[in-house]
Structure formats: structure tokens, C-alpha cells
Chains A and B, each alone.
Chain A
């Protein structure tokens, strides 16, 4: 693998960039692997990388029905933060944040992790109570997050409208400085390149038809469009398509897949210095390093795999952005797109072992999957390698839906008076 650096870039520039080699080979499946990972997004490729690097398991295939990074990894609004309320979530996302900090250097691939700060706006008394609860909980968990007055919020993000006459006036904000954004594609590519360099096969355009189980119930491998691939361990990390894949192994999942939309504006010179989220008006926004305003919308109300999404939802999101940032009213939307998010009943992920021996799952991230990428991948690799939960992913079991030990961040923010 060519080491990436300013020097190698300069050297190649002088030779017309003719000597760059492929960042990962386009592999064809072997008959057998120690581990097969279904889904070549950031999570799947990351798990393969950590299996190889930290557990010495290099006979690994990552297979995808399409192109690597072509799912939610390449369709999200790239926000990274860890200021979650519950200990379980805070540990997981903060573990991810620790890995994000050095990911570019570790992978020798600049993922452009930008510590811009993520600011969450409080628009009513309930928001204030809820965010204060987050701030206090985060502090005792060692997660950075602090409370800003509305004037401090405005100073941090000048386009913000803090007029008391607004329909939802800003009453303050919670700010995590370590949080920010990263270049989503680069995460998948960086992991792919680093995993491939350690011997992992990345097999693209190879839909998984079924997970095959033996007479004893344990996993034997996967049937794919390119034939049967033998493996005693299979990890499914297929985002919105997880239900379908798991179903083939006889494991029914507490998941529903919804279309999630996002959009970008035309590019403009730097105007927006951070990430702002407003749950009350349903909007979140940042500015990319190309200058586009990147705006997250919500999910449509119905389950769907169509990746289309409707216009009214987008209208609402844009109206909400213009309510909070009225100077953007004459900006133009450049494109909007849809992804499929898999949502669990408590809106927290399922990460780890399943009732089937040799079958592991990483799913149910809703809209939170991108920020968790290194943390989820790292701990899943541990679980797959050792066949036991990692202390950080241990709470994120399937069993919690039977016993009632839910990790319900969304319910914790429920609004009612």
C-alpha cells in the first residue's frame, strides 16, 4: 500500500499521477473465510479492519449487494457527537469519538474530521430541562457538553435568530465542542483501503441471498449471487436491509425501515461555523467543506425501501431551517436524497451476538449510525473475535426487548405536559 503523505502526493504529481495504485482490490469470493461480514459500509469495513488489526483475523470477506460505502455511509449528514444521555449510549458514542480523533492518522486516510462543535437548541422549558439533564449526565460521564445562554449561542453561530418573537424562541443551547463532522465517503474508503492492506477481501456487487445454518443451528456461511461462501462466523451490518438478511437466518428482528431524507444547498463562502440541531422544529444543519449547507430532514411516516421520500417533509424541514436561520431564505436547494434507516423500538442500536451461534448483528442505528462508525465497528470486531460481548456493546443486546431493559434516548426526550 502506498503511504499517503504530502511527499507521496508531490512525487506523484511530478509523474503525472500515473503511479498511484488501486486503494483496494476488487476481490472475487474465496470458498471459505473465517468471518464474512455482510454490508460494506463504514461499520462493516471498519469491523473487518479491526478484526485484522486487533485480533489477527485476516481471512475475512466483506460483501455488499452494491458498491462499498453506497448505503447510509454515503447518504448521511456526517454529524459526529457523543453527548447522549444514557451511560450506555454515552460510552459507546464517546468510544467512537475517541477513535474518530485519530482515525485519519490510524488509517493513513484523511477523513476530514472537523471538530466544529455541535449545538442543540432549546426552544421551550421542556427542552431546557432535557438538555440540562444531558449536560449534567455528560459531565459525570466525562463527555464534553456545556450549556450556553441564547446570547452565547448566537455568538457561537451568528446566523442564528434569537429574537424572542420567533415562533419557537431560542432559550439556550447545549454545545459539545469535540463534536463535528467528517467526510463520509472517506471513512468507508479509508477503512476499505486499510482492511484490504491487511488481507481482507472486499467483494462488491454480490447480493446475499441467505444465511445458511447447519443441522445444529449454527452458521455455516452465506449464499450469495456469486455462490455459497463458507464461514463459521457471519456478521450482518446491512443497515436498512438487515431485517431481510436476518430473516433468512430465521432471526426476526425488532426493526422497521423508514426513508430518511437530507439535502444540500448550493455552495457558498463560509457562513456557518458549526453544526446546529433543533429537535423541536425538526432541523439540523452544518456547512460542508465545499460550502454547501448540509441539512437533515426527518423520516417519512411509512416504512419503505424506495429511497424516494416525499416533498412535504422536505418543505417542512426547509421552513424550519429558515425559521431558525432566516438569512437562508434566498439560498437554493441543490439536491436532496433519501436513505433507508432501520429503527428499533427504543431507537438504540442492536450490536453483538444473536441467538444463532456464529451470527452477529450490528443494526438499528436509526439516524445515529455514522457517528458511531468506529466505535460500533471496533466493539463488534471484539465480539466476533472472542464470541462474547465487549463491555461497551454489552447493553445493546436483542434480549433487552424481552426483558424490558430498554435504552430509550428518544423517550427520555419525550414531550408532554
Chain B
């Protein structure tokens, strides 16, 4: 069971309070009708499935109810960071340099 930091509650809490919600930073196109079938497929189905740092969404469903973003290493399952929904995709190299 993972331990997840909710950026809204500012608490680190057990996974059972949270629901995984898939890859992050896949924004719904503003005008889907303008998309080709291939572009729409990419939005619907194509996923990074990264081996290593993975940008993903979680919802603190049995807590504050907020969706938020996280970077998790899918090899170790360790969270590198979590951040609020709507924030830009963080640049991990900058973060590493800061540490």
C-alpha cells in the first residue's frame, strides 16, 4: 500500500484513501470535432506507460475529494512529487538539481 501526499490536505496518507485516475497532462481537446480519427485515438487511448517517472493523476476520493497530479517512479513505485491539478508539468531535471 502506497503512501501518498495530498497537495490539498498537505498530509501524507495511505493509498486506500485515494483512487488512481490515469496518466496526467492529457488535456481534453478544446474542439474534438476538429481532430482527425488518429488524433482522437491518441487522446483516447495512447498512453506513455512510462517505465520510470510517470506523470499521473490521483483523486483523494475518501478525503478532500480533489484530483491532483503526481510523479511516481513506476519501477520503485516511489512518489517523486505531487502537485495540484492545473499546475504545469514539472521539470524533473530542475527538481533534481535543486536537491
**Residue positions of A touching B, CB distance < 8 A:** 241, 243-244, 252-257, 301-306, 308, 310-312, 342, 345, 401-403
Contacts and interface: CB of A to CB of B under 8 A. Distances in A.
Interface string B17-43: 001101000000000000001100110
Contact of B44 (A255, A302, A342, A401): A401
B77 A256 contact: no
A239 to B, nearest CB: 12
Given A243-B49, A301-B20, A402 B77 contact: no
Q: Which of B15, B45, B72 has the most CB of A within 10 A?
A: B45
B16 A252 contact: no
A255 B42 CA distance: 12
Contacts of B51: 241, 243-244, 305
A304 B1 CA distance: 13
Contact of B41 (A243, A302, A401): A401
Contact of A255 (B16, B22, B47, B56): B47
B46 interface: yes
A244 B16 CA distance: 29
Contacts of B54: 303
A255 B74 CA distance: 14
B76 interface: yes
B2 interface: yes
Given A301-B20, A304-B77, A403-B37, A310 B46 contact: no
Contact of B74 (A254, A303, A402): A303
Given A254-B46, A302-B56, A402 B41 contact: yes
Given A256-B49, A301-B19, A302-B56, A311 B44 contact: no
Q: Which of B16, B20, B77 has the most CB of A within 10 A?
A: B77
Contacts of A241: 51
A303 B56 contact: yes
B25 to A, nearest CB: 15
Dominant SS at the B interface?
mixed
Closest 9 CB pairs of A and B: A254-B45, A243-B49, A301-B20, A302-B20, A402-B41, A310-B1, A306-B77, A345-B45, A401-B45
B28 to A, nearest CB: 16
A283 B74 CA distance: 26
Contacts of B98: none
Contacts of B45: 254, 345, 401
Given A302-B56, A302-B72, A254 B47 contact: yes
B46 A253 contact: yes
Interface residues of B, number: 25
Dominant SS at the A interface?
loop
B88 interface: no
Given A253-B46, A312-B1, 10 more contacts: A252-B48, A255-B47, A257-B74, A301-B19, A301-B20, A303-B49, A306-B75, A310-B2, A342-B49, A402-B41
15 contacts: A243-B48, A244-B51, A253-B47, A255-B47, A302-B20, A303-B49, A304-B77, A308-B77, A310-B2, A310-B15, A401-B41, A401-B44, A401-B45, A402-B37, A402-B41
Q: Which of A252, A253, A304, A308 has the most CB of B within 10 A?
A: A304
A29 B32 CA distance: 48
Contact of A305 (B37, B47, B48, B74): B74
Nearest to B14: A312
A302 B49 CA distance: 11
Interface in B3-17: 15-16
Contacts of B22: 256
Q: Which of B37, B56, B74 has the most CB of A within 10 A?
A: B74
Contacts of A305: 51, 74-75
Contacts of A253: 46-47, 49
A111 to B, nearest CB: 31
Nearest to B1: A310
A312 B56 CA distance: 22
Contacts of B72: 302
Contacts of A345: 44-45
B74 to A, nearest CB: 5
A257 B76 contact: no
Contacts of B76: 306
A365 to B, nearest CB: 15
A342 B51 CA distance: 12
A368 B54 CA distance: 26
B74 A304 contact: yes
A308 B78 CA distance: 12
